[in-house]
Structure 1
Amino acid sequence: MTVSHVQLMLDGQPMRVEAGVSVAAALRRASDGSTRLSVTGQARAPLCGMGVCQECRVDVDGRRVLACQTLCREGMRVTTGLHAPRQPAPPDR
C-alpha cells in the first residue's frame, strides 16, 4: 500500500507529513507538539485532542484554527505562537 504525503510549512520550515493527519499530530512529530507560550513563557501543547481545551490554537494560512481539528493539506502554512513576541507577565498580586 502506498502512503501519500503532503508538503506544508511549519513556522517557516518545510515539512512532509502523511496525508490525512491533523496539524496537531504533525506538530507532535516535528517537535514536542507545543503550539504557543503561556504568559509566563512556558510551552503549551494540545491537551484534549477534540477541540475543547483550545490549547492547540495555531494560524493556518492566516486564519486562527484548532490544530487538533484541522487536517494537513498540500501547501498550507502553519504558524504557532512559539515565536511571537510576548507581553510581560502581569505582576503577582
Structure 2
Amino acid sequence: MPTDALFRRMQQSGRQVRIEFEGRSLNVPADISLAAALLLHDIGHTRESAVNGRPGAPYCMMGVCFECLMEVDGQANAQACLIEVADGMSVRRQRGARDLMIDPQPDQEVVDE
C-alpha cells in the first residue's frame, strides 16, 4: 500500500517568531507546536527523568506520552507538543521532578450539629 498520500507537509504562513531556549534565541515558524519548533532546531532532549535522569524528547506529539515536558515561561510540567509557539516565549528543559503548585484551601469552619 503506498503511503505517499498519507503524509504531506503542512502549509505554513511563512511568519516567524522568536523564542528563547535556555538563553539561546531561536527563530521558529509561527503556528506550530513548541515541540515541533524545537525538533526543527535539533535541540536534543526536552526533559530529564525524575527517576533516573534519562533524557526524553517529544515522541507521540499528541499529549499522551509526557516525554516533552518542559518549563515554559516559568511554568513547569508544560507539554510542549500541546503548546503553540508565541513570540518572546522563554523555554527551558525540565530537569527532574517539579513541585505541584497546589492552592491551599481556606480554613473551613467545622459546624457541630
Q: Given the two structures, how large is their TM-score scaled by the length of structure 2? A: 0.65
Find the counterpart in structure 2 of residue 67 from structure 1.
Answer: 80
In structure 2, stretches of 5+ residues that fail to align are: 1-11, 98-113
Tell me how far apart the structure 2 counterparts of residues 40 and 53 of structure 1 sit (CA, whole Å).
Answer: 17
Find the counterpart in structure 1 of residue 68 from structure 2.
Answer: 56
Q: Which protein, 1 or 2, shows the higher relative CO under an 8 Å CA cutoff with sep ≥ 6?
A: 1
CA deviations over 1:60-88 (Å, ceiling 9, x no partner): 1111310000010100001112xx4x69x
Contact persistence 2:35–2:81 (CA under 8 A): yes
RMSD: 2.2
Find the counterpart in structure 2 of residue 91 from structure 1.
Answer: none
Aligned length: 84
Cα distance, 1:33 vs structure 2 = 4.3
Find the counterpart in structure 2 of residue 26 from structure 1.
Answer: 37
Q: Percentage identity across aligned positions? A: 38
Q: Given the two structures, how large is their TM-score scaled by the length of structure 1? A: 0.77
